[in-house]
């Protein structure tokens, strides 16, 4: 078995993936001064698109209360979080293409599409309510020795287990 097959075709042990992600998180924190986060880039993308359409979001409660947290000279489309999000998407695409695992799946039915869209909207709304997703609340919190990361992790796994039971019983 050649090296490419062992590294790219066979699954890695979970601990190897954890160590690699941990090292990447340390590198990111060292180089940018910020922990790994992703959902704020979607906030910036939406805010930037609404601004381009002429909608003034600066008067919205969220932005009045919490601001944009953009550095001087940054815009909604040009900032470190957007660069990181684009890099993750392109890196994931390159990885899938490199090992010939990229594919587009056909939507089974309208029910699947409806639940996928509803679930995505609920997750996106929830990330703004909680000021972050599982990356910031779990992956970046635990290495920072934050207790909330462990509490979040426990409830995340419980919620995923309950959600999968509901999914298989009523939707799939």
Tell me, what's the pLDDT at 17? 81
9 CB-near residues (< 8 Å, 6+ apart): 99
Position 141 in a domain: yes
Inside any domain, residue 131: yes
**What is the C-alpha end-to-end distance of the chain, expressed in Å?**
38
Residue 140 lies in a domain: yes
Count up the domains in the chain and report the number: 1
In a domain, 37, yes or no: no
pLDDT digits (tens, 9 = 90+) for 32-64: 777 777 888 888 899 999 999 999 988 888 888
Question: Which positions of the chain have pLDDT values less than 70?
Answer: 1, 131, 172
CA dihedral 8, 13, 17, 19 (to 10 degrees): -130
The residue among 44, 38, 140, 128 whose CA lies nearest residue 89 is 38
Report yes or no on 22 lying in a domain.
no
Boundaries of domain holding 128? 105-172
C-alpha 37/C-alpha 140 separation (Å) is 8
- Please report whether residue 44 resides in a domain: no
Instruction: Answer yes or no: are the C-beta atoms of 137 and 130 closer than 8 Å.
Output: yes
Is 136 a domain residue? yes
Which pLDDT belongs to residue 1? 62
Instruction: Please report whether residue 135 resides in a domain.
Output: yes
Cα 30 to chain centroid distance, Å, stands at 20
Q: How do the residues of the chain divide into helix, strand and coil, expressed in percent and rounded to 5?
A: 70, 0, 30
pTM: 0.70
């Amino acid at each position: 078995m050649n090296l490419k097959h062992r590294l790219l075709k066979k699954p890695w042990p979970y601990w190897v993936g954890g160590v690699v992600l941990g090292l990447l998180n340390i590198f990111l924190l060292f180089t940018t001064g910020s922990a790994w986060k992703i959902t704020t880039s979607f906030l910036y993308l939406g805010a930037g698109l609404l601004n381009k359409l002429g909608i003034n979001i600066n008067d919205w409660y969220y932005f009045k209360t919490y601001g944009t947290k953009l550095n001087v000279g940054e815009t909604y489309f040009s900032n470190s979080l957007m660069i990181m999000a684009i890099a993750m998407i392109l890196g994931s695409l390159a990885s899938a293409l490199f090992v010939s695992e990229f594919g587009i799946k056909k939507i089974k039915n309208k029910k699947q599409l409806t639940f996928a869209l509803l679930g995505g909207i609920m997750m996106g709304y929830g990330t703004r309510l909680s000021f972050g997703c599982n990356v910031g609340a779990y992956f970046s919190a635990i290495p920072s020795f934050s207790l909330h990361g462990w509490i979040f992790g426990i409830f995340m796994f419980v919620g995923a287990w309950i959600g999968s039971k509901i999914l298989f019983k009523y939707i799939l």
